Each structure stands twice: as structure tokens, then as C-alpha cells.
Amino acid sequence: MRDRPGGEWGRRRPGPPAGGPRPDPLAARVAELQRTTGVPLDVAKAVAQGRLDLNEALKRMAFADEVNALMARHGLERALATQVAMGHAELERVLRKRRIETHLHDNRERDVFVSSARSGAPQVVGVYGRTLLNVKVLADGPYEVQVRDLDKGEDVALHKTQVKFVCDAQVWSKARKAMTWDATRKARQVSPILRPQQRFGCSNRRLGDAWDNKGEVVVTLAEGEVFTGTIAWIGRWELGLRTKGGDIALLRHAFDDFRE
């Protein structure tokens, strides 16, 4: 073994200072921040090192908690929840819009003729000429509906533009109490309006707002029938009106007025 230089054999290595290791001020500050504020370790380090203001850090944490709470409570996407938390979007408007859009999507293809054909239940159908037909819906087509006239005992084809409203025959005697007449419209002679651009304009947005408000609406049809009730559903071709006696499907092409 090679000899070490003289004098090194008896030299002592420096030991820890008396009283134990010196405390690290930065680590102590980080620990104190975590204990008193509950901030994460990385945030506590940034604050202790002067790279981040404590108040700003707490604001960021509170904002993140609010966003997460909005996402969990209302099922919002993060981007939309962030806009709400920042005050750039009103929560009630956001929720209202989503409710209406969901309802319109779920009921867009709803068709009273399809459901009537499936159930086979007798229906009272209001057609132009201020005539009521007692029918059983046999089949639904793109433009015509095949029905059996229960009073005459014969099958006929009705063009859908001829139909103004449909109601289950079992509830019609009570539901018809929700119908009155507009004297001015009842006195005039009208025919089905075939061109969509010439019909009474009533947008989904307007109907959706009325549906979400859950208040009474008044729908006037082209030949003067006036129906009062609350909106049960909004379909692409029809509006479901809920009355005290039962539901009535009003065909939107026959509308002449709509009021809340």
C-alpha cells in the first residue's frame, strides 16, 4: 500500500456544527406556507422563492376550484366553465340554452301520426273546412297519412297540410275545453298554405323560450281555433300543447299566431 503524505494520518475531517445541522430557511418557509395556506408544494416553493405572489397564488387556486365545481355540478365543459367563472358567460343562460337545445334535439323527429299508427288508438283530427274527423291512423307517409274514417267506415288518404291538430279521442271531450274561437278568423275562408315561406313564422328559439318558461301560451290557427295551454313538446312539424283535459298536437304549418 502506498504511504499517504505525512501529516494526513492524524487530520480529522470536519464534522457537523455543534447543535446539529443548520435549518434551511427556504425549506422552513415552504413548510410554513403549506401548513397555513394548504397550497401545493410547487406553489409554496414558487412563493418562497419570490417567483409568485401569495395572494395571486390563492386567487388562482380559488378560480381553479370554482371551474372544477361548475364542471362537476352542471356537467359543463372546461372551456365553458372557465367562461362562466370569469364572468364572460351567465350560468343561468348557459343552462337554459342547453335545456332548450336538448329538448329540441330529443323531440325533433316526433310525429303524432307515427305514434298514433303505432298505438292504434282512435284520434280526433281537425282538418281545413273546420271539420272534425274520428279516425284510426293506419300508416304514415312523407306527405300523406292513411286513416280509417270511423264514422263512415272507409279508408282515406289525408294530405298532411290539410290537418291542423290531432288529439286522442279518449281525452278530446275534456281537451276541447281549451279551445275557443277567434271571431275575425272564423269568418274568413282560408286554404292550407303550401309554401313554407308564406306561413306564420314561429322559430324554435321562441317556442323553446316559452317551453322553458313553463307558462301558458295561446296558439291561434288559420281558421280561427284558439288553443290555450302549456308547451309539452316541440317537434319539427308539431307543437304538443298540454291542457287540463289532455295533450293536443298542433301542426305548425297551420299556425296563424302565437303568444305567451
DSSP secondary structure letters along the chain: -PPPPTTSTTPPPP-PPTTSSPP-HHHHHHHHHHHHH---HHHHHHHHTTSS-HHHHHHHHHHHHHHHHHHHHH---HHHHHHHHHTSS-HHHHHHHHHHHHHHHHHTT--HHHHHHHH---EEEEETTTEEEEEEEEEE-SSEEEEEETTTTEEEEEEGGGEEEEEEHHHHHHHGGGEEE-HHHHTS------SGGGSPP--HHHHHHHHHHT--EEEEETTSEEEEEEEEEE-SSEEEEE-SS-EEEEEGGGEEEEE-
- Tens of pLDDT, residue by residue over 133-150, are 999 999 999 999 999 999
Whole-number pLDDT of residue 199: 93
- Tens of pLDDT, residue by residue over 164-176, are 999 999 999 999 9
Whole-number pLDDT of residue 47: 78
Written as nine digits, the cell of 137 is 291512423
Whole-number pLDDT of residue 104: 97
Whole-number pLDDT of residue 226: 98
Whole-number pLDDT of residue 212: 97
Q: Where are the domains of the chain?
A: 25-89, 112-259
Fold of 112-259: SH3 type barrels. (2.30.30)
Whole-number pLDDT of residue 7: 53
Ranges under pLDDT 50 in the chain: 1
Whole-number pLDDT of residue 17: 61
Whole-number pLDDT of residue 38: 76
Whole-number pLDDT of residue 112: 97
Long-range CB contacts for residues 66-70, cutoff 8 Å, separation at least 24: none
Whole-number pLDDT of residue 111: 97
**Amino acid (one-letter) located at 7:** G
Whole-number pLDDT of residue 13: 65
Q: Does pTM surpass 0.85? A: no
